[in-house]
Amino acid sequence: MGVIAKRLTSWAIDNDLLSKEQKSARPSEGCYEHTFLLQSIIGEARRSHKNVFVAWLDLRNAFGSISHSAITTILTHIGVPLPLIEMIKNSYAGATTQIRTPTGLTTDIPVLSGVKQGCPLCPIIFNLTIDLILRAIKRSASDNGPAKVHGIPFSVLAYADDLVIISRKKDRLQKLLDIASSTATDLGLSFRADKCASISLTCSNNSQSSFELNEFIVQNKPIPPLDRENPYKYLGVPIGLIHDPDNISDLVQDLTRDLESIEKSLLAPWQKLDMIRTFLQPSLTFALRAGFPKKDNLLVCRSHLVATVRRICALPSRASASYIFAHKRVGGLGLLDPTLEADVQAIIHAVKILSCSDPTVSNIANAEINQTVRLASRSNPTPALKSKYLSSLPDDRLTNLRYNIQSLWTRIRKSTHRFASTLVALPDQGKVGRALTTDTFANGSTWQYNGLNIRFRDWRFIHRARLNCLPVNNVKSRWSNSCPKCRHCNSDETLPHVLCHCLRNMPSILRRHNTIVHRIVNAVQSGTITTDQQVRAANSRLRPDIIVEEDNKVLIINVCCPFDNNAEALRDAEQRKLNKYEGLKQFFVGQGKQCEVFGFVIGALGSWHPANENVLRQLGMSKRYRSLFRKLCCTDAIQVSTNIYREHLGITEGSVDADNSE
């Protein structure tokens, strides 16, 4: 059925058998395109002081009511091959359903009408059948003069069973509704008048547009007219006379409830973040792209999101919110900031509408941006001027802008001011982020949504550690009169001191180093391996971590785990290793061997140094294992650093309260 559906759709589109106004079952972003067109139609009427009458129609049980005989008749009429029609008829012949009740299943109930919902063939069959309604409306509108927007005619829009009829005159809209009513009746379909709606925007003698409550009839039932304040929710986007309705408050309330449910669930913390990223944020993204959301509501949504994620990651309130929204390449969680995402989606929407494959949509978009720039600048909208307008670039003609009615294009201009990367610019909380920036693959943060090689204690540790929000004495002394000295020595108790320098922690620091060494040794596929041994013939006291000898080739690999204090800290650590073993390299070269020295650097908080790739190439790792190896090295460092921190503070197994202390 999927193969048939794909071929039937392509055949119907190529032969103009499916109206271009029908966006369902087409390879297009029909929801976005239709909402843009409706917003443009109403906005253009308000700007130009023209009449426009719009009716939204809702078919009652559309997919379940359309008769099988109507399907067969329409498919035959448009020229679908008879063997294919017979195959479709056979798939519906003798179809039955059952209902499960407390006393068991009912007897078979014959299915005599409707398409099989869930079947891949269902959308295109349904659309071809109700296309009869669209063609009847367009034919009648063409005979009586269709509504035009920027010179392009409009009479009907459709997305599956969601129909919109448009006219410039009240009586013509009623005539189009009569045509739709009679054609739907012929197909055995009925409209739910109580779910339909209409708006009327009128203008006389070029005066200001006014609003009317006109009653239209569909299938002998009145359609409720919308008042000025109430929009109609079409394809999930409120559309009405007020161009910037409060169209996201209900969604924000739903998202807030979902955030609370996710936080209280028994999911692992990384699974909770994945739930937010995978299920909650896409629903918000659709509303932000297609609608005109109010920033006040987005600020409420952002506040709830930040508070929830901070609790999931055990972050204090002073931890920068930039960590939550920054890309994982700088160690951030990569979640969407609703206030910035609104601007991002506005730009995405504009680009896709302007480049839409449907010439009707793209032509109206270009005409609208020309009109907007001309009105705003009082100048001819050249390509250069339009580019400056949309990009918010300086130009004398764009100094004192005139805004009439808000549109997608005015929204774009305001959006281009909003972008900046703040996390890595923070002098304290951005240090680790700057160290992570150089890692193209974001290996140090891939565990955030899958929990790879991460324990709950690591989760409670690493987020606060990367933001320098752990309660070590040096940090606490900033906010109180406490002593900044280490509890085990005379140095300041900073996090770098605890993880990399405190003498009491040296056995555990060595354990972190050896963990990385062992992982590299296990990845060596050939050659003779020597670890932590002097090269006696070289008369040197140096003990390289790993020496791999194969034939006439020698690899010297030395591991170090410095604190992730900016990217320079990782580069400096590597250079120290190269300098340290340069003499040993010359010894092997003097013996006529090829010798390479590599510093393998993993930050104590899981940063991956890009130069480590040289080691992976020398070891001949496969691409797939190389990807896993990077991630495991980073989480190995995080795990042992967690243990070092807990041992330093005297946190024992099960001491969750102490582990979460501020």
**pLDDT reading at 26 higher than 70:** yes
Asked if 138 contacts 176 with a C-beta cutoff of 8 angstroms, the reply is no
**pLDDT reading at 212 higher than 90:** no
> What pLDDT is stored for residue 251 in this prediction?
76
Direct distance between the N- and C-terminal alpha carbons of the chain, in angstroms, rounded to an integer: 60
Q: DSSP states of 489-505 as a string?
A: SSSB--HHIIIII-GGG
Residue (of 39, 69, 35, 70) closest to 52 by Cα position: 39
The β-bridge partners of 165 are 55, 156
Q: What is the arithmetic mean of pLDDT over 126-135?
A: 92
> What pLDDT is stored for residue 132 in this prediction?
93
Q: What is the arithmetic mean of pLDDT over 128-154?
A: 86
pLDDT digit string (tens) for 571-581? 999 999 999 99
Residue (of 651, 295, 278) closest to 449 by Cα position: 278
Residue 388 backbone phi and psi in degrees, to 5: -65, -40
> What pLDDT is stored for residue 409 in this prediction?
56
> What pLDDT is stored for residue 252 in this prediction?
81
Separation between Cα atoms, residue 38 and residue 19, nearest integer Å: 17
The token duo for 563 is 């604190």
> What pLDDT is stored for residue 209 in this prediction?
58
Angle between helices 295-312 and 249-264 (to 10 degrees): 0
**pLDDT reading at 149 higher than 90:** no
Name the residue with higher pLDDT: 508 or 147: 508
Residue (of 403, 331, 222, 408) closest to 607 by Cα position: 331
From the number of C-beta atoms within 10 Å of its C-beta (0-12, 13-18, 19+), residue 16 rates as exposed
Give the model's confidence band at 135: pLDDT under 50 very low, under 70 low, under 90 confident, else very high: very high
> What pLDDT is stored for residue 51 in this prediction?
87
Query: Coil, helix or strand for 82?
Result: helix
Asked if 172 contacts 144 with a C-beta cutoff of 8 angstroms, the reply is yes
The token duo for 217 is 């009839």
Long-range residue pairs from 376-379, CB within 8 A, at least 24 positions apart, any chain:
376/401, 376/402, 376/403, 376/410, 377/401, 378/402
Per the prediction, the chain carries an average pLDDT of: 86
pLDDT digit string (tens) for 515-559? 999 999 999 989 999 999 999 888 888 999 999 999 899 999 999
Give the model's confidence band at 34: pLDDT under 50 very low, under 70 low, under 90 confident, else very high: confident
Percent of the chain past pLDDT 90, that is, above it, reads: 46
Residue 174 backbone phi and psi in degrees, to 5: -65, -40
DSSP E strands, 183-241 = 197-202, 210-212, 216-218, 221-223, 232-234, 237-239
pLDDT digit string (tens) for 477-487? 888 888 999 99
* 8-state DSSP, 423: G
pLDDT digit string (tens) for 97-109? 899 999 999 999 9
pLDDT digit string (tens) for 612-642? 999 999 998 998 999 999 999 999 999 999 9
> What pLDDT is stored for residue 410 in this prediction?
59
**pLDDT reading at 498 higher than 90:** yes
**pLDDT reading at 243 higher than 50:** no
> What pLDDT is stored for residue 457 in this prediction?
94
The β-bridge partners of 154 are 147
**pLDDT reading at 390 higher than 50:** yes
Angle between helices 82-92 and 68-77 (to 10 degrees): 170
What residues does CATH 3.40.91 cover in the chain? 428-655
428-655 CATH = 3.40.91
